[in-house]
Amino acid sequence: MPGNTFGHLLRLTTFGESHGPALGGVLDGVPPGLELSEADLQRELDLRKPGQGPTSTSRVEADLVHIQSGIFQGKTTGTPIAFIIQNTNQHSSDYDELARIFRPGHADFTYWAKYHGYRDYRGGGRASGRETAARVAAGAIAAKLLAQIGVQILAGSVELGGIGCDELDLPGAIGRPYFAAQASVIELWDQAVQQARKQHDTLGGIVQIEVRNVPAGLGEPVFDKISALLGHGLLSVGAVKGIEFGDGFQAARSRGSANNDLLLAPEKQGALPGFASNHAGGMLGGITTGQDIVMRVAVKPIASVPRPQKTVDIDGKACEITIAGRHDLSAIPRIVPVLKAMTALVIADAWLMQQSLG
Amino acid sequence: MPGNTFGHLLRLTTFGESHGPALGGVLDGVPPGLELSEADLQRELDLRKPGQGPTSTSRVEADLVHIQSGIFQGKTTGTPIAFIIQNTNQHSSDYDELARIFRPGHADFTYWAKYHGYRDYRGGGRASGRETAARVAAGAIAAKLLAQIGVQILAGSVELGGIGCDELDLPGAIGRPYFAAQASVIELWDQAVQQARKQHDTLGGIVQIEVRNVPAGLGEPVFDKISALLGHGLLSVGAVKGIEFGDGFQAARSRGSANNDLLLAPEKQGALPGFASNHAGGMLGGITTGQDIVMRVAVKPIASVPRPQKTVDIDGKACEITIAGRHDLSAIPRIVPVLKAMTALVIADAWLMQQSLG
Amino acid sequence: MPGNTFGHLLRLTTFGESHGPALGGVLDGVPPGLELSEADLQRELDLRKPGQGPTSTSRVEADLVHIQSGIFQGKTTGTPIAFIIQNTNQHSSDYDELARIFRPGHADFTYWAKYHGYRDYRGGGRASGRETAARVAAGAIAAKLLAQIGVQILAGSVELGGIGCDELDLPGAIGRPYFAAQASVIELWDQAVQQARKQHDTLGGIVQIEVRNVPAGLGEPVFDKISALLGHGLLSVGAVKGIEFGDGFQAARSRGSANNDLLLAPEKQGALPGFASNHAGGMLGGITTGQDIVMRVAVKPIASVPRPQKTVDIDGKACEITIAGRHDLSAIPRIVPVLKAMTALVIADAWLMQQSLG
Amino acid sequence: MPGNTFGHLLRLTTFGESHGPALGGVLDGVPPGLELSEADLQRELDLRKPGQGPTSTSRVEADLVHIQSGIFQGKTTGTPIAFIIQNTNQHSSDYDELARIFRPGHADFTYWAKYHGYRDYRGGGRASGRETAARVAAGAIAAKLLAQIGVQILAGSVELGGIGCDELDLPGAIGRPYFAAQASVIELWDQAVQQARKQHDTLGGIVQIEVRNVPAGLGEPVFDKISALLGHGLLSVGAVKGIEFGDGFQAARSRGSANNDLLLAPEKQGALPGFASNHAGGMLGGITTGQDIVMRVAVKPIASVPRPQKTVDIDGKACEITIAGRHDLSAIPRIVPVLKAMTALVIADAWLMQQSLG
């Protein structure tokens, strides 16, 4: 309830500040017998690691994950899986100014207001994007669990700095710069990034996430529709300002006759019905249809703009701040594995819920 | 966890099928001493009532609410407030065909898949929009609680059938047809509705919701950001296919220098800082800033299109259905009080959470 | 969280005051396809009904239950089952004095302190034993669910007014006065009751509850051991002052060599091991062993003693009260179906949890 | 829900196996501004540490705790406090036999049954008493929070091997061997322990826990009565087989006239009423009265009896086991700080809940 735990039957609790000793998490509810190693988590963490692309900070954290519990002889035991990532590459002195000055677009002011003035201001403390490393580690476990039943989660960047893709190849995204959903936009995005960097500015973008081969029947009426659970999970990622499912905001401009996905007779005896289209994004009444779940999330531009900005300090005095420290130019692409991780956690939890019905 | 309960400290559990004996809910966690009567709930229910506008069904339900508990001598006692709305105007025979045939765009198929073939198919059963009456009744209580601390929730339709408003007057929306956020669009919307009706089709739209005078500090890091909680609540309303906060999807196309809301010195000694703009929609790091919370949700067109549609039956055989029964032409405007209600429930819950910190 | 909801996957929310319009509950999470009717609930409610035994109040409530949702064509649908019991036989004027005076042994003072002076004082309001009717109704559903997998819950009174049974026949208890676990104690208990009545006093007792044919593997480490969940459920019933499992407090005086239940080879190929004894009461490490779960709970004497008692009023002034109204002389036997109901809810929930592991 | 998380607003999640890399926990919901250091946790952990009394194992773990998050400049920040205790003194080879043989009185069989054969059998794995170190560390934080409002938690052993105290001095218990509630029993207990050791056997006992200076009004009706929450917490500690509140099982033998605690006029203007006795153990209707909360729990004898015992192996074959490894002779006294810790967690959580009402 105080907000650092997510999920019902598969339940992630995370902890850690950007410049504290470590961050990590505890994933409870993983069924026994799943083969799992630190390498499974590290692989996903490496995709989120800073310092490896055109939009990335020069802060290089190894982000090595260490599992503390819940695995025995290479398999899960059903007990909680705890993992730790030490914070090693910290320039805390970069952040001294932040003890007193609220950065625009950051959580400095709101944490100060919420927690009665007590906060770890170094690098954003708990509100830092580093917090998402724990999500990625846990999401890797959820994804491995889902892989056992054939469910696959794909994601890619479909827009950066206002430049969108016109064709999507999500399976190929992971191998491309920016985790771009289309190879041909990369050059345009490179130019946009260079220009923004030159102009001391930052960029936002849009990420598409899909869940393939998902069983029909996941999600709970009324309040825990699969869209509501996914919305909760993805909107909880910092920088996400919107989410849509299937045709999303375009569905609001469509007509019922065009927006309805007509059902088709099953391809073979005993199979579930198919659909002639997927405007709904894989769900009806909040329950999965068995079609692909399709979502897009809006990612705001990085708030740490490398130029002077007007703001106030903790005494309410107007002042100016020029943000030091090492920062990404866009949350794209590093946010992509985070969004995949949250999606995996939601779907795996919903699948365990559905299993409880027998 | 099975999905019919929402909230933490303020917790709503709802029940009821479209054509069962009754629907209702239990709202637990309302602090003692709040003046409350059935009239407070009825007023909001009447705004959601069918049969009163150009997009509305001819099914006329009185939707009279009866409080069963939790009120004594006109005030809340801190114990759960249960309320019941009898189902009175039912034409169940309209729905006989639905025992076997899945309506496109409805939850018929997904409930059938989820619940192993057991379901109350009459009028959509639990998946019917009638379920939202319980949300509205509970939301009226949450809104009254919030009014005590000066928080006000406004909402209005800002787009219908692709025709948007260019200026918003949310406080006036409640008095207008369609709960329109602008008086001058009403005539255009009337024309769009007449045309759609003539073409045997249905419309979608967009609703904007704002929370005014909200205290800074509400929402919980990391997973229960105020955006995540609001997203969960609003995306759990049937027909909602997307949500955005502040500039939302436009923020993805903006730059950091333009998207950051610069802080301003407080207007008077001891007050909190102000902001030069509100691109963020009233939250930073998932915690309220004290600015207005601003959200928009996308509402898909009504799935019950009054024309023949191809589909399949429960044996997987292709067939055609022409939907009988009485149906709205758009979820706008009746969804507006539902979205207000969910917003009130989320904000009141977050406020109780924050109170627990002392 | 505000305390009127119980369970995880099988989740009961209750409401209602002793002298309000009605009391009832919502049971969410019942799997689809279970045959269920109001008669199933009424049968258990009738066992708890006042006015039918030597220790009983003369208040005669029909306690007729009405199901509002979640059942279609005689079977559950997986959606929440709401039920209502109208309050019909109320002598509210009996309770006028209670607006100002705290009854000893009752929750009058603590509710007043908790809820800042706001409370429905009539008949104890929410703290009345009438609240347990909702538990019994819901427990009847859980018990029917468990019966499907062969699990049976038995309970009987094993001590009243300090007079205990020396041999237990729990299956026969339901047919005897006091739900006595032994036929031969009934005459002694009759005498004890008559004497207490003559002396204007009330009695307590002890109830034993057993769960038979329960699968091994139920309960969750670490905090949700089956003993912890059962303890939570049974200690939440008013008047219960203690609980023990297996040998319970006697186990504290035993030695390891005597207290350990030695394992035995399975009776047939592929079956689970057996045990040479059941000191543990059917659980090890908080997980069921497959043996019978055995529990006893201590029930305090009824607080409404029919004689003058010293107390204070809401202004803190000393005074005296002679309790009017109609009251039982002992919570035995009416508490027995309540304890069975809570046991059924816990075990059914734990079974759904275990099913989620596949 | 999978059982490794406890509490609502103050929420503890623990992890770790006896012979894994580490164990630890995450305590979420601690309000900001509480002075806290590792020494605060270590002090309580040292009271639970093995190797320091007559009933203790010779396994000497330093049990050094390391805080990973949630503290900045010596004060809590409102974010989750994670702590780790490395496992350093492991003789895993002591446990090789346990891969195949179920120890009587242990969770070996039930974990095997629950988790489909997957388990870390070394030293009991997750079911080991070592798990409670995380509870003690977290409880130390809760106790410090409670100390700020004057609430104090006391506990002491009141019975060992069937030998009870006849007078209690709980404040002095912490300084005595066995955390004995009375100085004069220590010699008798020493003799009992020596005898049991000579006879290759183990002992159980009873612990009394009291909460002093607790505010009136804590606990939630109906299902989350303070007794239910405390029962849940204390019964979740391994080896606890029963709990009673106030007069407990003796109350079942008392009469209403004797068992009711009469209210007394407040000692000074504006204060709350007092009580002439405390048979109820500090609660009425499940809500605290402001009197001391008084509880006793029954602790079974240690299951690791140092003599041959009959049992079966994972193939169901009868066999014999002589338990190697280093084991306590009684859970007394090491369980005492664990029970205090769970009590502190429950009361602090209930206090935060009550604060949310304003």
pLDDT in tens, B200-233: 999 999 999 999 999 999 999 999 999 999 999 9
pLDDT in tens, C50-90: 766 777 766 566 799 999 999 999 999 999 999 999 998 66
Residue B174 exposed, middle or buried by CB count within 10 Å (0-12, 13-18, 19+): middle
Per DSSP, D155 falls in state E
CA distance C291 to C275: 8
pLDDT in tens, B279-311: 999 999 999 999 999 999 999 999 999 999 999
Q: Residue C15: which of B9, B23, B70 has the nearest Cβ?
A: B70
- The answer to whether residue C188 neighbours chain D at the CB level (below 8 Å) is no
Q: What is the 3-state secondary structure (H, E, C) of B28-61?
A: ECCCCCCECCHHHHHHHHHHHCCCCCCCCCCCCC
Q: Residue C261: which of D3, D105, D257 has the nearest Cβ?
A: D105
CA distance D356 to D358: 5
Report CB contact under 8 Å: C216, D110: yes
**Residue C7: left (phi > 0), alpha (psi -120 to 50), or beta?**
left
Residue A308 exposed, middle or buried by CB count within 10 Å (0-12, 13-18, 19+): exposed
pLDDT at A59: 56
What subunits touch chain A, counting only 3 or more CB pairs under 8 A? B, C, D
Q: Compute the nearest-CA separation of A341 from chain C (Å).
A: 21
Report CB contact under 8 Å: A356, C358: no
Give the H/E segment covering residue C305: none
**Lookup: tokens for D282:** 């500090």
Q: Greatest CA separation found in chain A?
A: 72
D296-D4-D43 Cα angle (round to 5): 60
A-chain residues within 8 Å CB-CB of D76? 118
- The answer to whether residue B241 neighbours chain C at the CB level (below 8 Å) is no
Residue with structure tokens 């929609």? B281
Q: Which of residues 111-150 of B touch A (CB under 8 A)?
A: 111, 113-116, 124, 126-127, 131
Report CB contact under 8 Å: C355, A357: yes
Q: What is the 3-state secondary structure (H, E, C) of C81-113?
A: EEEEEECCCCCHHHHHHHHCECCCCCCHHHHHH
Q: Which domains does chain A have, with CATH numbers?
A: 5-246+281-355 (3.60.150.10)
**Does residue D2 contact residue D15 with C-beta atoms inside 8 Å?**
no
CA distance C124 to C328: 14
Mutate to test the interface with A, among D19, D23, D26, D83 (most CBs of A within 10 A): D26
Report CB contact under 8 Å: D356, B355: yes
**φ, ψ for residue C100 (rounded to 5)?**
-120, -20
Report CB contact under 8 Å: B4, C28: yes
CA distance A234 to A215: 21
B-chain residues within 8 Å CB-CB of D221? 79
ω into B222 cis (within 30 of 0): yes
**Lookup: tokens for B243:** 């949500």
Residue with structure tokens 């009824």? C302
Q: Compute the nearest-CA separation of B126 from chain A (Å).
A: 8
In the predicted model, what is the mean pLDDT of residues A244-263? 98
Q: Compute the nearest-CA separation of C244 from chain D (Å).
A: 4
**Lookup: tokens for D290:** 């402001």
- The answer to whether residue D155 neighbours chain C at the CB level (below 8 Å) is no
Q: Compute the nearest-CA separation of B50 from chain A (Å).
A: 19
CA distance C38 to C7: 22
Per DSSP, A302 falls in state P
Residues in chain B, pLDDT under 50:
none
Q: Compute the nearest-CA separation of B23 from chain C (Å).
A: 7
Beta-strand (E) ranges in chain A? 5-6, 11-16, 22-28, 65-67, 71-72, 75-76, 81-86, 152-160, 163-164, 205-212, 240-245, 263-264, 274-275, 283-284, 287-288, 293-299, 309-312, 318-321
Report CB contact under 8 Å: C26, B16: no
In the predicted model, what is the mean pLDDT of residues A206-216? 98
Q: Which of A243, A219, A235 minimizes the C-alpha distance to A346?
A: A219
SS3 A349: helix
Whether D327 has a pLDDT exceeding 70, the answer reads yes
- The answer to whether residue C358 neighbours chain A at the CB level (below 8 Å) is yes
pLDDT at D93: 67
Q: Residue D236: which of C1, C126, C222 has the nearest Cβ?
A: C222
pLDDT at C60: 61
Q: Residue B298: which of A131, A236, A249 has the nearest Cβ?
A: A249
- The answer to whether residue D268 neighbours chain C at the CB level (below 8 Å) is no
Q: Compute the nearest-CA separation of B129 from chain C (Å).
A: 15
Report CB contact under 8 Å: D318, C233: no
The ipTM (two decimal places) reads 0.97
Rounded to 10 deg, the angle between the B335-355 and B38-48 helix axes is 140
pLDDT at A38: 98
pLDDT in tens, A136-175: 999 999 999 999 999 999 999 999 999 999 999 999 999 9
Report CB contact under 8 Å: B357, D1: no
SS3 D221: coil
Q: Compute the nearest-CA separation of C358 from chain A (Å).
A: 6
Q: Residue D289: which of C12, C109, C273 has the nearest Cβ?
A: C109
Whether D59 has a pLDDT exceeding 70, the answer reads no
Q: Residue A78: which of D28, D81, D118 has the nearest Cβ?
A: D118
pLDDT at C59: 56
Helix locations, C199-245, DSSP H? 226-235
Q: Indicate the pLDDT class of residue A57, thresholds 50, 70 and 90.
A: low
Report CB contact under 8 Å: B249, A2: no
* pLDDT > 90 fraction of chain B, expressed in percent and rounded: 89
What subunits touch chain C, counting only 3 or more CB pairs under 8 A? A, B, D
Residue of B nearest to D356 (CA): B356
What subunits touch chain D, counting only 3 or more CB pairs under 8 A? A, B, C
SS3 A41: helix
Report CB contact under 8 Å: C69, B16: yes
Contacts B–D by Cβ distance under 8 A: 27
pLDDT at B168: 98
pLDDT at B237: 98
Contacts of residue A189, Cβ cutoff 8 Å, sequence gap at least 6: A160, A161, A163, A177, A178, A180
pLDDT at B304: 96
Residue D203: count of CB within 10 angstroms of its CB? 30
Q: Residue A355: which of C32, C221, C358 has the nearest Cβ?
A: C358
In the predicted model, what is the mean pLDDT of residues A85-107? 85
- The answer to whether residue A223 neighbours chain C at the CB level (below 8 Å) is no
**Lookup: tokens for B234:** 């609003």
Per DSSP, C203 falls in state B
SS3 B198: helix
Residue of D nearest to C234 (CA): D228
Q: Which amino acid is at A303?
A: A
Q: Compute the nearest-CA separation of A77 from chain D (Å).
A: 5
ω into D222 cis (within 30 of 0): yes
What subunits touch chain B, counting only 3 or more CB pairs under 8 A? A, C, D
Residues in chain C, pLDDT under 50:
none
pLDDT at D324: 72
C-chain residues within 8 Å CB-CB of A357? 31-32, 78, 355
**Does residue A266 contact residue A302 with C-beta atoms inside 8 Å?**
no
- The answer to whether residue B16 neighbours chain A at the CB level (below 8 Å) is no
Q: Residue B312: which of A264, A289, A316 has the nearest Cβ?
A: A264
Q: Residue B1: which of C8, C78, C81 has the nearest Cβ?
A: C8
Q: Which amino acid is at C173?
A: A
- The answer to whether residue A353 neighbours chain C at the CB level (below 8 Å) is yes
In the predicted model, what is the mean pLDDT of residues D244-256? 98
**Does residue B79 contact residue B70 with C-beta atoms inside 8 Å?**
yes
CA distance C81 to B16: 8
